[in-house]
C-alpha cells in the first residue's frame, strides 16, 4: 500500500464526524440525507465529508437514478490496522518492562515490611 494512501486514510480518520459516518456505514449503505440526520450540519457539509472518505477509498458511492447510497469499504482500514500493529510489539515490550519494574518495587517493599523496615 503506498504511503500516500495510508496518509489519506489517517487524514480521513482524523475527523470525528467522518469516523461517525464510517461507524454508521458499517451497518449498511446510506444516503447523504440518512448520514446527515444525527448531525447539526447541512447536506453539503456531509457531502464534503463523504468526498474526503471517497478520496481515502473508505467509501464508495453507488448510482441508481437519483439514489446515490454510500457504502463502507474497509480495506484501507485493514491496511492502517496492519501499520499500527507493527507498533504493538513496542507497546508490549514497554508494558512488559513496566510490569518488571512494578514487580521489583513490590518485592522490595514486601521484603522491607517483612524485615520491619519502614520508609
We report the CATH number of the domain holding residue 21 as: 1.10.10.10
Residue 76's contacts (CB-CB under 8 Å, 6 or more residues apart) are 1, 5, 6, 8, 9, 56, 57, 58
Domain with 96, as residue range(s), is: 87-119
Instruction: Check whether residue 57 and residue 103 sit in a common domain.
Output: no
Least confident span in 1-10, 30-39, 42-51, 108-117:
108-117
Residue 33, C-alpha cell as written in the block? 440525507
Residue 93, C-alpha cell as written in the block? 515490550
**How many structural domains comprise the chain?**
2
Instruction: Check whether residue 37 and residue 66 sit in a common domain.
Output: yes
Instruction: Check whether residue 44 and residue 100 sit in a common domain.
Output: no
Examine the pLDDT at 75 and tell me if it is beyond 90. Answer: yes
Examine the pLDDT at 23 and tell me if it is beyond 80. Answer: yes
Examine the pLDDT at 29 and tell me if it is beyond 60. Answer: yes
Instruction: Check whether residue 63 and residue 91 sit in a common domain.
Output: no
Instruction: Check whether residue 73 and residue 100 sit in a common domain.
Output: no
Instruction: Check whether residue 91 and residue 80 sit in a common domain.
Output: no
pLDDT (mean) for 83-106:
82
Instruction: Check whether residue 26 and residue 72 sit in a common domain.
Output: yes
Pairwise CA distance, residues 20 & 97, whole Å: 36
Residue given cell 464508495 in the structure block: 60
Amino acid at each position: 500500500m503506498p504511503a500516500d494512501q495510508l496518509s489519506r486514510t489517517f487524514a480521513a480518520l482524523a475527523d470525528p464526524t467522518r469516523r461517525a459516518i464510517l461507524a454508521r456505514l458499517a451497518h449498511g449503505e446510506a444516503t447523504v440525507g440518512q448520514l446527515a440526520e444525527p448531525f447539526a450540519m447541512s447536506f453539503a457539509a456531509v457531502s464534503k465529508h463523504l468526498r474526503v472518505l471517497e478520496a481515502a477509498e473508505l467509501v464508495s458511492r453507488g448510482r441508481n437514478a437519483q439514489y446515490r447510497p454510500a457504502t463502507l469499504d474497509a480495506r484501507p482500514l485493514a491496511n492502517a490496522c496492519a501499520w499500527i500493529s507493527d507498533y504493538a510489539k513496542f507497546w508490549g515490550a514497554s508494558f512488559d518492562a513496566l510490569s518488571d519494574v512494578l514487580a521489583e518495587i513490590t518485592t522490595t517493599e514486601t521484603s522491607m515490611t517483612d524485615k520491619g523496615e519502614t520508609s
